[in-house]
Structure 1
Amino acid sequence: MAERQARRAEDAAGDITRRELYFFNLYRLLEAVVYLGLVFSTLAVDWIRISHADLGRSVTLIYCAVAIILLISTDRMRRRLSASIGLALTLDTLAAALVLFSISGGHSSIPMMLMVNVGVGALLLPFRQSLLLAALAAVGVIAPPLFSYFSAATVDRSILEASLFGFAYIAVAALCAHLGRQMRETEALAEQRGVDLLNLEQVNDLIIRRMKTGVLLVDDANHILRINESAWHLIGNPSPNQRDLGQVAPELSRRLYHWRHSGRIDQNPVALAADVPEVIPRFSRMSPNDDTHILIFLDDTSLLSRRAEEMTLASLGRLSASIAHEIRNPLAAIRYSAQLLAESENMHEEDRRLVEIVNNHCTRANEVIENILQLSRRERSRPESIDLNAWALAFVEEYKQSNDLGQDHLRAITQNRTIEAMVDPQHLQQVVWNLVQNAIRYGREPGSVARVVLVARMATDKGPPLLEVVDRGPGIPAKVAAQIFDPFYTTSEDGTGLGLYLARQMCESSQATLEYVPVAGGGACFRITLSPAATLAARTAAQAT
């Protein structure tokens, strides 16, 4: 987008240069017509004397033809600006000098016209080249009277006039070159400012589109002028052709009308369409005294609740980590004491059973502490590109080597295509290991073996990559499935309730999502949606720039 905007600025500058060249070439043609009039017209005989008629007529005819060609070739001249203008000014000087040589009297009109050529050329050319061409023009107007002086040996005041014109050419060229440089610098600065403004507008538009808060811009007739993706979703995904706020979101239009007339905002949450979260609308004028354009902000209450919950969980996590540190040492002492008691030879069987219970609960409490500490000191994700098919096959082999599955089955299903995903391999290893353990433990019908499948596939032809842990067990009831990712929620007597919560947190840190998907016919599926390697790499590069 920025490149297109810069290209537009360059095209605009090119159009300006083309227009300047066109008028410059048009002036050259008019200049040639004046030369023709001086040489061919009988009306000019009274105030000029043609000393070399054939030369003057030949030069003016050739110069007129050249002027026509240059006018037609304006676009080609723009491609090689300096060389084209330099050559054209040289031809202008040569034509003026030869015409001056061919006539006598009325010399001042031709040098005056040539001064325009010198000035315009200096506006378009660099300083040194402008001075060089101005000096050439000065020589061109001084040479004819000097030649007449040396050939006739008489002093003519036209030499003084020509010298003054030569000095004026250099002065005009220097001044116009300076003005031209300032003009080009100002033009370049304006172009850069224009590109910067367009880039800033693009960035602002991108930020507004990606904001979680819904944003709408409406006019005094309640027509929606701008809307971002969040607002479009929060008002029920209306048709892009529907721009009347009263038809799209009547309740929002009513609240806007109430705010415009009373200045008070209704803070009660409202759902603006079916199956969308409740929002709290806020209104703001574009400027203090401008009622023609109103900004509407839609705050998603579910996001606010989620942020508050995350802040609460973060605070609880830090508190739990502190408590876990304090509990760890006494727990280790209790476990060590229980192990010493278990080594006693005179212990009764009932006492030995009690010691075993103490050991089991110490182990469970230690697992809770380890999970809490792992959650509190969770390392930053280090995503890298992996081949998901190869990773799934290697994981299954590693799991089989590390665990005695007995009669249980674990296998991987992959696609006949390369699936590249961007993820932290260590986090993915921990997450899938936990999911497979749960599937083997709980994903079986009573009295039957566990059949667990690790599936690596693409959601569609273009992604995103998916990694699924599927079992053929009894599945998870809908009421339980809504809470399985909550911290400390468990239906097992010896579970900690942190495994799935920790797994989801690890996935989110790697720009992935973990969700539960019911399986038709029985069973459970935990699906990890990963970021494609190209997508995450481009996102990271955009954030870096």
Structure 2
Amino acid sequence: MTAGPNVQSTAASPGDITRRELYFFNLYRCLEAVVYAGLVFSPFAVEWVRVTRPMLGQVAAVIYIVIAIALLVGTERLRARLAGTISSSLLIDIVAASLVLIALSGHSLVPMMLLVNVGIAALLLPHRAYVFAMIAAIGVTVPYLFDSMAGGPASSGVEVIVIVVAYFIVAALLRYLGGHMRAAEDLAAQRGVDLLNLEQINDLIIQRMKTGVLLVDRANHILRINESAWHLIGNPPPGQRELGSVAAELSRRLYHWRHTGKSDQTAVALAHDVPEVIPRFTRLAPNDDTNVLIFLDDTSLLSRRAEELTLSSLGRLSASIAHEIRNPLAAIRYSAQLLAESPELNAEDKRLVDIINNHCTRANDVVENILQLSRRERSRPETIDLNAWVLAFVEDYKQSNDLGQDQLRAVTHNRRLEAMVDPQHLQQVMWNLVQNALRYGRQPNQPARVTVVARLAVDKGPPLLEVIDRGPGIPPKVAAQIFEPFYTTHEYGTGLGLYLAKQMSEASQASLEYVPVAGGGACFRITLTPAGTLLASRITPQSA
């Protein structure tokens, strides 16, 4: 099921534009060959056409016609080698024009027609424009010299000079135009790619929206539907697209809205075992009921969002301070990047610029971690099955990260393990621990081997989650400080990752600790609260 209408692009690609230009170039060459043949084969030579060497002109014209037709027919195949095709075909044009000029003892029409060939070639290959003009100039100068040495009638030297200058002027102008044309084609192609990527991103965003989205036509036929809407109306079969069949109540409310303009804002469950939703309707175009967009707002999500907004207000002060730090930090980093592009920098200065960029990145990471501290939400513990959670977590991590040769596996208990914990906080903590294990828990020049274990401490003991690696381990002096804020042994670390992990664990009444592994390696252990313990502690009265 797709989330939005497909958009077809009608813009011509640069490849299509090049093919069209090459086709018209070859078509013009055929016209040119026909004109040459008309000049040399005319049985009634007009006053302004004088054929002094008919045999030479007729042979050249016939061969040129054959070559021109062959180039026109083979346009598609010759386009694969564009530069060679244009260069060789223009050379043929110049040779043919030179031979016809010799046969006619000079004629202004032939050099003028060749001017178009030079211009088109310069337009298609701007970097060879002046070479083309030079060869064409030689091509029209040779017949003039030939006729002069033979003592026959020839064009005036001034006329030849004017034609040569015209070739260079046209080549220069169309070289400039060709460069701009290529830049415009590249920009158009890039814009087309950007639009296609944006369309795919929009489609993905709509698909992953928590709000259900449906597009329905006048006949109550579902045109588009996202994943959330599909779940909220009870997961109907993919081929079922009639709104009245898959969600009768929603179809009734849509009918009422279309005829009265008023929407029923009461929450309703559109199927069994799905959350209640509040439908909202809107037209894609004013006063046009052809297609209607339906939004299904999950009431449980709305409640959670309201709580999130309340909690987020607590971090506004820290966020504003962080933004004030970010502004000059961004200016420093941007200036350093511009400075790095200067060709006058020596190696020592470039090293200093790299230091500035690295520390700007580090300072930005610190700001991000501080923002995370200020935005931390209160814990919402619930009962989860650790075995199923660990298996799902490992699979999700593998799908979200390219591990390469590194190994990540899950080891679960042989019986159901239940614990009280906030799944969101636990997800963040475990993600941080696994990332650290994969990054630092490896022997030199060897892939990392990380294991996520779910087990009981002892029989009837608390449930445990462990992240174990087979790396060099952590020295005792360092292990005593790793959970302190801003303590790090890495050059670009912030020292807040493990601190935040420990704080989130404690918010769910769990504990995070480091345990050395015999034989080398490190183990970060989360001791969780057994299911039912939190609830029991809340209802047990305090003793006096």
For residues 194 and 19 of structure 2, the distance between their equivalents in structure 1, rounded to whole angstroms, comes to 25
Confirm or deny that 1:432 pairs with 2:432. no
What residue number does 2:111 align with? 111
Q: What code does the residue aligned with 2:73 have?
A: I
For 2:56, the aligned partner's letter is L
Instruction: Report the aligned-residue RMSD.
Output: 4.7
Deviation at 1:500, TM superposition (A): 13
Inter-partner Cα distance in structure 2 for 1:313 and 1:120: 67
Distance 1:504 1:296 in 2: 46
Report matched runs for 1:208-223 at 5 Å.
208-223=206-221
Are residues 1:142 and 2:163 paired? no
CA shift digits 1:112-163 (9 cap, x unpaired): 221221221122111x411221232133223323432344287x55443333
1:388 — aligned with what?
409
CA change 1:442–1:422 in 2 (3 A) is closer
8 A Cα contact 1:270 1:280, kept in partner: yes
- Which structure has the bigger radius of gyration? 1
Q: Which residue number corresponds to residue 162 of structure 1?
A: 160
Which residue of structure 1 aligns with residue 534 of structure 2? none
Partner Cα separation in structure 1 for residue 62 and residue 133 of structure 2:
24
SS in 2 for 1:198: helix
What is the TM-score when the length of structure 2 is the normalising length?
Answer: 0.56
Spell out the pairing of 1:512-527 with structure 2 (5 A cutoff).
none
Aligned residue for 1:124?
A: 124
Tell me by how many angstroms 1:75 deviates: 2.8
1:311–1:167 distance in 2 versus 1, CA, 3 Å: closer
Counterparts in 2 of 1:20 and 1:37: CA distance versus 1, 3 Å = same
**Cα displacement (A) at 1:195:** 1.0
Give yes or no for the alignment of 1:17 onto 2:39: no
Work out the CA distance in 1 between the residues paired with 2:187 and 2:306.
47
Aligned CA distance change for structure 1 residues 504 and 115 (closer, same or farther; 3 Å): farther
How much has 1:423 moved relative to structure 2? Answer: 8.3
Is the 1:55–1:102 Cα contact (8 Å) retained in structure 2?
A: yes
TM-score normalised to the size of structure 1? Answer: 0.56
SS at 2:237 equivalent: coil
Verify the 8 A CA contact 2:408 2:451 in the aligned structure 1. Answer: no
8 A contact 2:279–2:294 mirrored in 1: yes
> Given that residues 409 and 452 in structure 2 are in contact (C-alpha distance below 8 angstroms), is that contact kept between their aligned partners in structure 1?
no
Does the 8 Å contact 1:386/1:423 carry over to 2?
no
Following the alignment from structure 2 to structure 1, what is the Cα–Cα distance between the partners of residues 151 and 19? 46
**Structure 1 equivalent of residue 202 of structure 2:** 204
Change (3 A) 1:284 1:38: same
**Which deviates more, 169-178 or 156-165?**
156-165
Q: Higher relative CO (CA 8 A, sep ≥ 6), structure 1 or 2? A: 2
Alpha-carbon contact 1:32-1:64 (below 8 Å) kept: yes
Q: Which amino acid aligns with 1:59?
A: A
Give 1:28-67 correspondences, 5 Å limit. Answer: 28-44=29-45, 47-67=48-68
Counterpart for residue 424 of structure 2: none
For 1:40, the aligned partner's letter is F
Q: Partners of 2:215 and 2:92 in 1: how far apart?
A: 60
Q: Distance in 2 between matches of 1:14 and 1:388?
A: 49
Q: Could you tell me how far apart the structure 2 residues matched to 1:129 and 1:215 are?
A: 56
- TM-superposed CA distance for 1:501, in Å, is 6.6
Residues 261-292 of structure 1: CA deviation (Å, up to 9, x unaligned) = 43333221111123322111122333555544
Listed as ranges, the matches of 1:95-494 within 5 Å are 95-104=96-105, 107-126=107-126, 128-152=127-151, 158-288=156-286, 290-306=288-304, 386-388=407-409, 424=433, 432-433=454-455, 435=456, 437=458, 440=460
1:100, CA displacement in angstroms? 0.4
Change (3 A) 1:170 1:9: farther
Separation of aligned partners in 2, 1:59 and 1:258: 82
Provide the rounded CA distance (Å) in 1 between the counterparts of 2:407 and 2:130: 65
Q: Percent identity?
A: 56
Report if the CA contact (8 A) 2:105-2:147 is conserved.
no
Tell me the distance in 1 between the aligned counterparts of 2:32 and 2:199: 47
How many equivalent pairs are there?
Answer: 361
Bigger mean CA deviation after superposition, 114-123 or 63-72: 63-72
Structure 1 residues 504, 306: CA separation in 2 closer, same or farther (over 3 Å shift)? farther
Q: Is the Cα contact below 8 Å between 2:50 and 2:105 reproduced in 1? A: yes
Q: How big is the shift at 1:182? A: 1.8
| CA drift at 1:430 | 10
Amino acid across the alignment from 1:176: L
Q: Deviations over 1:198-240 (max 9, x none)?
A: 1111001001001111111223443322211111111122233
**Partners in 2 of 1:35 and 1:263 — Cα distance?**
75
Secondary structure, counterpart of 1:162 in structure 2: helix
Amino acid at match of 2:454: V
